[in-house]
Amino acid sequence: MIERGNAIPSVGVKLVNASGISDVTSDAVLGEGIVVLFSVPGAFTPTCHVNHLPGFLANAGKLRAAGVSKIVCVAANDQHVMKAWAESSEALDTIEFMADGNGELARMLGLAKDLSPFGMGTRYARAAMIVRDGVVSDVFVEDGPGVNASGAPAILMALEAANA
């Protein structure tokens, strides 16, 4: 699993943001400034849609005030699903979305999780990280159901502690 001090790997992904959909690499998206990356098992899935994404959307101003230049959500969904989710949640102007449809970045980050028993295949573990100029400074992986360690409040506390 990716750890503090590791560089973000370079993997081809689809970036979904207010400008549209583009082919990019993960290190290009996450390589400059202070970036909060959070991973979800799937767009529109109950916990992701009701708890995880809304927490980052509601706290975007506080995250930016703490020095975050970009908030990025990643899932092993295709770019069309990620775009529909971003639009329906009204997050497109606030959060960028990375579609890692084949889960290659998930595997390289060590966050791939087999959800085949639930009919979902390989997805991301629910997690979040703070990335500073392409290098991971903090990693938060949920060890159970729900959003605790990887939610926006936990990330805010980590940023405040680092800035103290």
Q: What is the rounded radius of gyration, in angstroms, for the C-alpha atoms of the chain?
A: 14
**CA atoms of 1 and 21, how far apart (whole Å):** 28
Assess whether 48 carries a catalytic annotation.
yes
**Lookup: tokens for 164:** 């103290």
5 found inside a domain: no
Task: Return the closest-CA partner of residue 132 out of 38, 39, 31, 62.
Answer: 31
Which stretches of the chain are DSSP H helices?
Answer: 26-30, 46-47, 53-58, 60-65, 79-88, 104-109, 152-163
Is 59 within the bounds of a domain?
Answer: yes
- Model confidence pLDDT, tens digit, residues 98-140: 999 999 999 999 999 988 888 888 899 999 999 999 999 999 9
Q: What is the CATH number of the domain that holds 29?
A: 3.40.30.10
22, part of any domain: yes
Mean pLDDT, rounded, for 15-35? 97
Q: Does residue 135 sit within a domain?
A: yes
**59-68 residue pLDDT tens:** 999 999 999 9
> Can you give the pLDDT at residue 164?
65
- How many domains does the chain divide into? 1
Q: Is residue 79 a part of any domain in this protein? A: yes
Domain assignment present for residue 6? The answer is no
pTM beyond 0.85, yes or no? yes
Question: Binning pLDDT at 50, 70 and 90, where does residue 50 land?
Answer: confident
146 has a pLDDT exceeding 80: yes
The answer to whether position 2 is within a domain reads no
State the catalytic residue, choosing from 16, 37, 48, 129: 48
Quote the CA–CA distance of 147 and 113 in Å, as a whole number.
16
Mean pLDDT of 75-92: 97
In a domain, 7, yes or no: no
- Report d(CA 59, CA 80) in Å as an integer: 25
Give the residue carrying structure tokens 């990375």: 98
Confidence band of 158 (pLDDT split at 50, 70, 90): very high
Write out the residue range of the structural domain in which residue 89 sits: 12-163
